Structures are given as structure tokens and as C-alpha cells.
Structure 1
Amino acid sequence: MSNLSLSVAIGNYDRNRALIDGEVQIDGVNPVFMKLSPEEIFFRAFRHQEFDICELSFSSYTLSVSRGTNDYIAIPAFLSRAFRHSCIYIRNDKGINSPEDLKGKRIGVAEYQLTANVWARALLEEEYGVCPSDITWVRGGMEVADRPEKVKLTLPKGVVMEPAAAGRTLNSLLEEGEIDGFIGPRTLSCFDKGHPNVVRLFSDSRAAGTKYYKKTGVFPIMHVVGVRRSLVEQHNWLPMALLKAFEQSKAAALAALSDTSATKVTLPFVEEQIEDARKLMGNDYFSYGYKNNLKTLETFLDHHYRQGLSERPVKADELFWPATQEGYSI
């Protein structure tokens, strides 16, 4: 049997690099890698199904599963994970001194259903009693006006979302104080430039994320890996081959990161940060796999449905190809 020649669109992360460089092979596959930004991958995948294998927004994928329209089936390789306390930005001249003060405020989002925004709303509701209906949401382009929404939504009764004014960006609205804050996985340029009135809601977001993990045991999942469903139906060995390869690639990245002879990341105190992560979360602190991430998956799915994004409750085992929910041992 000759190898399959398949397109693979993923981010250029250290945990993917052994795959991209060819150090790790995918059994039975000759991959054609495309290193693209998440925004480009997601738009092309969900609008046009352009790739055989690709990184997917966890939220958009879950929504498609709830609708029964998912052209991709996922494997539990979680290429992006992050605590999202750091993605909530506010104007410090709008009377916002605590998360509870977000009630009644106008908060910008590029898209309501972005995975980071689902997690941010989840922590605001769980930990601080701020519900989505307590905020007026303003949707628009972050730095380019009139951004299209890649997934059309019908939000629950009581949740108000307004479009940004034509020709206006969320950055300009926040910069000029016409909205009170912003939630999103990327920073706005006014924050990057040090605008004196644009700050993070959680001034010590690392401490807030650590506290949240100690309480909940949840390390938020942002992205999964999807395989074209029609391919899997023809080659049912493919999801497990992919999961094996992504696991091996991540293991190679962690081994390199732990080699302290010369740091592999352009950042000071890497060794100390690795030690802190292991103390908090164990040695497998960036884990892939279904069973050991079940609580995080179920937490997300519960909030995704309650926020009006899933059209029905989705169970965790619906998300992944069945064989990838198990493992083997020797």
C-alpha cells in the first residue's frame, strides 16, 4: 500500500516542529505541511474545507458537531491550551475595579464564539457571577473594520450583541473609550503601545490562572486536530496514526525544552517556569488524550451549550474518532 499524500495545516509551534521538520513521521502518510495562522486555517477549513488534516477552533468544531455539519472528525491532540484570564482587557477609567464591575458594560469581541471568549465568559460566570447577559457585546474587527463572522449564531434570549459601527475597529473604539473593554486571544495594538487607560482586568493573570487551576483542575483547551471525515471513512487507521505522531512530536518538544544546556526558547527563566508548571500540573502539563482531559472537555461543553453556541448538549465522546479515545499498553 502506498502512502497517502495529504495536506496538513497547523501552527508553527515547538510541539509541532518535529513533525514539520520530518523528525517524526506519520505512519502511512506523506504530509504536505502548511504553517499558517489559526485565523487563516479556521476560515479556510470551516468555510471551504480546504485541508485534509488541520488545526481547528475547539468552539467552532463543537458547534459544527452540535449541528451535525462537521466535515472533520477530531483527534484529542490539543495543539493550543491557555488560561484566558490574560485575554480580558478593560479601560481603567470606567469604574471597573473587579470582575463583578463588568456588569452593565460594553465589551468588544471579534467573534462571540471564539474559544478563548467561551472560556473567558465561563470563568467570569463560574468564579465571579458575571453572566453573558450582564454584558452588552460589541462585535467587530480588531484592527480591520467590518470583519465577517465565520459562523452565524442565534444567541440566547437576554444576550445582547451589537455590531461595531461601520468602518470602526474594536481597537479604535477601546482606544477612544467608546467601549469599556475587550476579550480576545490576541492583544489590541492600543494595549501593545502602552495606552495608559487600557489594562488587563487581572493585573496578575498568572496568579489568577494558577488559583483557577488549583480550584478546578481545568487547563483550558483551545484547538484540536481535525481529519476530513470522508478520509477517515476510507482509512480508519488514520486518526490513530495522527494521534501517535502528534504525541511523539510533543514529546520531542518537551525533551528539548528540558535540555538546559542552551535554552530552546528566547525567554529568560525557562527552567524555573518548567519547574513551576510541573509542581502545579504534573510532568504531563500539556497533555493530549481523551480520558485524562475529560473534566476539561466536559466543562467546556457545558458552558458552550449554556452560552447558546451548541444547538444541543454535546457529549465529549461525540467529538473524537472512537479509536482515539482509547490507548494501548505493553
Structure 2
Amino acid sequence: MAELPVLRTVLGNYPHTAPLKNGDVGSARMGLDLLDVSPIHRAFAPMVREEAYDLCELAVVTALQAIAYGRPVVLLPAVVAARFQRDRLVAHASRPVRPEELKGKRVGVRSFTQTTGMWVRAHLAEDYGLAAQDIRWTTREGAHVAEYTDPEFVTRDPGTAGLPDMLREGHVDAVVLGNDLPEGDEFVPVVPDAAARDEQWWQKHGFMPINHMVVAARSTCRENASAVREGYALLRRADACVQRPDGVPHPTIFGYDNLRGPLETVIDACVAQRLLPRRLSPEEVFGPAREVLGSDAD
């Protein structure tokens, strides 16, 4: 009897991935070798540069850059992480700043390509008319996709201090923080009505801002497309195990049609912020996945 294929897989810990990790959802056709990479963004560069995994969670900006620069990944129509972003832009309580005062200010972000930073800049443009180049961006890291070069209005500071310390010491006027958003009253939001604006944005657009999707290695799609199809099916089955009320934003989205509008919004923002070398077409984004998944992802 032939040995079942096993896909090396990296996924974060969420309610909708728990059924895969605890064994409640599985397959008789293939297996998932679920690897623990923490923080999850440490898996991104090895995936887009080396095809280090068969299936991998990947930030949407990194995924789109990987497509634009011809890296060997196939973007699946699966969003596994999304959240509202306006509250991720913070200042120090001793030096608060309003959004309309950010023009010409220094704002720190882990990487200019970080998806949270992309959404913060998109919201600043939409809400306050601030373009990405109106702000002096300071970063700690480069892009996961090695071919990408930061624009001239971005400065790299590879020092040892983290973003919160840079803010404490006054090296920057505000910072964008992702999952490491600290508790307590030392830092204050730059957008004072973030929750209300996020609610209005969701009512207008109909989805929660996308953070992470799932990609497959191109070589795995070529050599074992059936296992990739089954892996995608497992993601959808695991997500279906989570009971969510109607009328509230969900952190997951599946299917080409459901993702067309959200991805067009992301691509528009990436082009405006010079995160992409050119505008990507729908065929470039999901054409390779359609060849692998066929109608399974409609």
C-alpha cells in the first residue's frame, strides 16, 4: 500500500485551525505535518525564498509581492487571519499626536511591507488624506521578498531597540504595532475613534481587513496537486467547525468570488504605497490556484 503524502504545514493558532491541530479534522488521503513557528512571520521569508514548506500561512502583502516578483508560491483563496487595524497606530502618552499632525512626522514600523502597516497607511489616506510619502517611515527589517526595495521615504534603523523603546526614547513620534500591542496606559491610540471608524469601514466594505492568507509551494502543486486540494478542503472543514454569529465580521474568507473585492482593495492600497512594482491582475493572483484547485474553491 502506497504511503500517504504528508504536507509540511505552518499555520497560526486560531479557533479555526484548532480542529486541524487537535485532530478533530483530518483526512484519510493525506496528512499535515503541522510545524510550530513563532512568531508566525518568521516562516514568511523561508517560504517565499526557499519553498521551505508545502503549505504556509503568509501575510497578504508578502503574498502579492511574491506573485509580482515571480517567487515559487501559489496563493490559495483562503484568509486565515484578519483584524481591524486603526488601533495599532500608537503614540507615547507623554507625547500624544493626532492623525492630522502626522505629516512630516517619524513613524516606526517593523517592516514597510508589514501588512498591518499597509492597512494603517490605507486608513490614514482614506480618513485624513495622508499619502504614504507624507510620513517619514522608520523600519527595523526589510521585506520577506528579497527582490523588493523600500521607497526613498523609508529609512532602515537596524539598532537594537525595539519599536516601543524607540517611541519611549523619542526617536519616533508614533509606531505601528501588530500582535505585540502592549497593554496599560503608557501608549495611547493616535486615532481616537478607531473602533467607530472600523465599524463604519466594515459596514461599507463588508469584510475585516485581511492580514494572512495561505500559500502552497509551487513545486508541491506540481508534484502533488491532489494533496494540496485536500489540504485546502481541510482548511475549509476546520473553519466550518467554528460557530460564529451572523452580522459580525469574520476573520476568515474562502473562495475566489468572495475574495475578488477584498483583494482588489488590498492591491489598490499596495500600488498607492509603492509596495508592488505594478498592478496585479486577477489572473495573476488566482490563476495558478485555479489550475490546482479547479472548482473546489468556487
State TM-score, norm by structure 2.
Answer: 0.88
Give 1:163-174 correspondences, 5 Å limit.
163-164=156-157, 166-174=159-167
- CA-to-aligned-CA distance 1:148-206 (integer Å, 9 cap, x gap): 653443344xx511222633332221012221000131335xx43532xx211234433
CA distance in 2, matches of 1:172, 1:224: 30
Structure 1 runs not aligned, ≥5 long: 141-146, 259-273
Q: Is residue 144 of structure 2 the alignment partner of residue 150 of structure 1?
A: yes
Structure 1 residue 79 displacement after superposition: 0.9
Cα RMSD (Å): 2.4
2:26 aligned partner = 25
1:85 aligned partner = 86
2:179 aligned partner = 186
Structure 1 residue 137 displacement after superposition: 0.6
What is the SS of the residue equivalent to 1:182? strand
State TM-score, norm by structure 1.
Answer: 0.80
The answer to whether the 8 Å contact 2:5/2:227 transfers is: no
The answer to whether the 8 Å contact 2:254/2:297 transfers is: no
CA distance in 1, matches of 2:74, 2:158: 37
Pick one of 269, 278, 295 that aligns with 1:303. Answer: 269
Q: Is residue 57 of structure 2 the alignment partner of residue 63 of structure 1?
A: no
CA distance in 2, matches of 1:328, 1:163: 40
1:88–1:27 Cα change, 3 Å: farther
The runs of 4+ residues in structure 1 deviating greater than 6 Å are: none
CA distance in 2, matches of 1:204, 1:325: 43
The answer to whether the 8 Å contact 1:290/1:326 transfers is: no
CA distance in 2, matches of 1:138, 1:46: 24
What is the SS of the residue equivalent to 1:110? strand
CA distance in 1, matches of 2:180, 2:46: 23
Structure 1 residue 30 displacement after superposition: 1.8
Counterpart amino acid of residue 154 in structure 1: T
1:270 aligned partner = none
1:65–1:87 Cα change, 3 Å: same
1:105 aligned partner = 105
Q: Is residue 279 of structure 2 the alignment partner of residue 279 of structure 1?
A: no
What is the SS of the residue equivalent to 2:254? coil
Give 1:193-232 correspondences, 5 Å limit.
193-195=184-186, 198-232=187-221
1:290–1:26 Cα change, 3 Å: farther
Q: Kindly, what percent of the aligned residue pairs are identical?
A: 24
Q: Is residue 231 of structure 2 the alignment partner of residue 242 of structure 1?
A: yes
1:83–1:326 Cα change, 3 Å: farther
Structure 1 residue 20 displacement after superposition: 1.6
1:222–1:105 Cα change, 3 Å: same
1:88–1:326 Cα change, 3 Å: farther
Counterpart amino acid of residue 28 in structure 1: R
